[in-house]
Structure 1
Amino acid sequence: MKKPSVQTPITTRGEALDRIKTAMVEKKLTQAELADASDCHEKTIQNLLGGRSVRDQTLFDVCMVLGLDFHGLRDAWHGESVAVENGQTNGAGHEGGVAPLYMGAYARVAVDHYIGSYLTLRRSFSLPETVVAYRTDITWDPEWPSLLFQERDRPDAPYAHRGRLYIPASSSFIHFVSLTKGAMRMIVVSQIDRAGEMRGIITTLNKQRATFIPVATPILYARRENFDGDAFGEITPKNKAYGKYKRLLDETIEEGYARLIS
């Protein structure tokens, strides 16, 4: 089982910069490669590595690529010190604001219960009898008021997505949308229930032989305080977690959270 990494807290911009540079060395990324992976201009990365002020969205994108903790690094970058409990941050600068109207015009106070980490399950798009399991973190972005999601610990890490949550006021379903250079992926799931679960369907593109084709499959998010006992990666029937994971995905269809029409 792969557990999420635990990083030493940082408190200054210098420490945050050292953490970024170390991660770049570990991942063997140049400035240009980091800029491309973060979907930003190389000059922006040069400003970042020079210790100059950059947008929080840039910090978020860089943290996603490098596998760093966004909240801890952001607070250190701005010289803020916050308490950390069970992996969640508490303190100034983490509340307030209303999402844009086109995202559902939701306020943080109304969606706080979505913030956290989730075991994420879906079927493999190319391997039969295989469930793909990874982690998704949901946080609040005060700079562009809205919920953000960030995928971690995927077996195909280069294809991990990050994006925003769209929450219609009149629907029992919400949308996870990622948009990068014109390429869009959307996940439609039920609003979180008392068990901390969201179920629905994912639609995206998957590489099949020489080309990419549209695919869809059921998906489930299950809230976790920790991931002890959970397995990440490509889970086959040989893995003891397979039966439980498969049952959870089967229930997504059986209980009417999604319907696949052939």
Structure 2
Amino acid sequence: MRTLDSQGVIHGMDDPQAQEIAGRVREELARRRISRQALADMARISISTLEKALSGRRAFTLATVIRLEEALGTPLRARAAPVVDPPADSGGDLGGYSRGAVRWIEGRYLTLRPSFGDPADIYAYLTTIEWDADGRHLAFRESERLDSSFSQSGRVSMPHLSGHTYLVTNVDGQYRLAILGRPTIKRALYGILTTLLVGNGSQLVPTSVPLALLRLEAGAGADIAFGRIRADQPAHARYRAELDGVIAGDYARFPR
């Protein structure tokens, strides 16, 4: 039988609810491809506390469970069971995911890449990732672009084998592809963008540049600058540091 003392401790890892909480935490770690250390940091608990609770060497406290729920953005206790999606998923060509497995990536992202006109400048716009109920897969769309006629939209692929996220645009067989690595603790995504650039005359030339998607939480916007950010603008240094982190953090490589 489960007991809850005056300190809010859920006693006994042989208790079904405590086992279910531990199982759900392990499942969320696997789905989101994050480490136990990253989860402990997000929940503001020690890695020792998390490890011992998951292994049954220490009882869960109610405070720990609440912090884990807040960090994961999903209920862990049976009294607030998550909604189960229909069995249909995204299909094998996008990684075969269900919405519950990828809900964590939905949101708005400040998107940064070097300007194609002048690599010293930074091009900043908004990317929104959300669930397409009709197609039963994640979709993305761009906005806040200076060249709004070139705003992209497409599908999101998240295969388990590579652990990467792919933003795929396909217009009449012409592809643009972003490959993004595993999310950071702040849920930022870093990687590479491959597209076609206008060259000499009407020639189109393949090009690849570093890409950063920074998660925008509710209420963000006061210090966000979109458009072409030049070196004399306040946001430039901060944005440049994010793009430099793509290579420094080994999220992408550009061999010469």
Question: For residues 128 and 175 of structure 1, do their structure 2 counterparts lie closer, same or farther at Cα, with a shift above 3 Å needed?
Answer: closer
Which of 215, 228, 238 in structure 2 is aligned with 1:223?
215
Given the alignment of the two structures, is residue 235 of structure 1 paired with residue 226 of structure 2, yes or no? no
Match of 1:82 in 2: none
Match of 2:122 in 1: 131
2:207 is matched by which residue type in structure 1? V
Q: CA shift at 1:181, angstroms?
A: 1.3
Match of 1:152 in 2: 143
How is 1:170-185 mapped onto 2 (pairs within 5 angstroms)?
A: 170-185=161-176
Match of 2:79 in 1: none
Identity %: 31
Which of 143, 147, 150 in structure 1 is aligned with 2:134?
143
Partner-residue secondary structure (3-state), 1:243: helix
Separation in structure 2 between the aligned mates of residue 191 and residue 145 of structure 1, nearest angstrom? 22
Q: CA shift at 1:207, angstroms?
A: 1.2
Aligned residues of 1:126 and 1:208 also touching (Cα < 8 A) = no
Given the alignment of the two structures, is residue 106 of structure 1 paired with residue 97 of structure 2, yes or no? yes
Aligned residues of 1:95 and 1:142 also touching (Cα < 8 A) = no
2:132 is matched by which residue type in structure 1? D
Partner-residue secondary structure (3-state), 1:164: strand
Match of 1:28 in 2: none
Separation in structure 2 between the aligned mates of residue 128 and residue 203 of structure 1, nearest angstrom? 15
Q: CA shift at 1:193, angstroms?
A: 2.6
Rg (Cα) greater in structure? 2
Separation in structure 2 between the aligned mates of residue 193 and residue 112 of structure 1, nearest angstrom? 16
Structure 1 residue ranges without an equivalent (≥5): 1-93
Separation in structure 2 between the aligned mates of residue 101 and residue 108 of structure 1, nearest angstrom? 14
2:248 is matched by which residue type in structure 1? E
TM-score, scaled to structure 1: 0.62
Structure 2 residue ranges without an equivalent (≥5): 1-83
Which of 175, 181, 192 in structure 2 is aligned with 1:190?
181
Partner-residue secondary structure (3-state), 2:240: helix
Could you list the per-position Cα deviations for residues 152-209 of structure 1 after superposition, in whole angstroms to 9, with x for gaps in the alignment? 0111111110001111112221111000112100000013232010000000001124
Aligned residues of 2:85 and 2:98 also touching (Cα < 8 A) = no
TM-score, scaled to structure 2: 0.64
Partner-residue secondary structure (3-state), 2:223: coil
Match of 2:246 in 1: 252
Q: CA shift at 1:102, angstroms?
A: 1.4
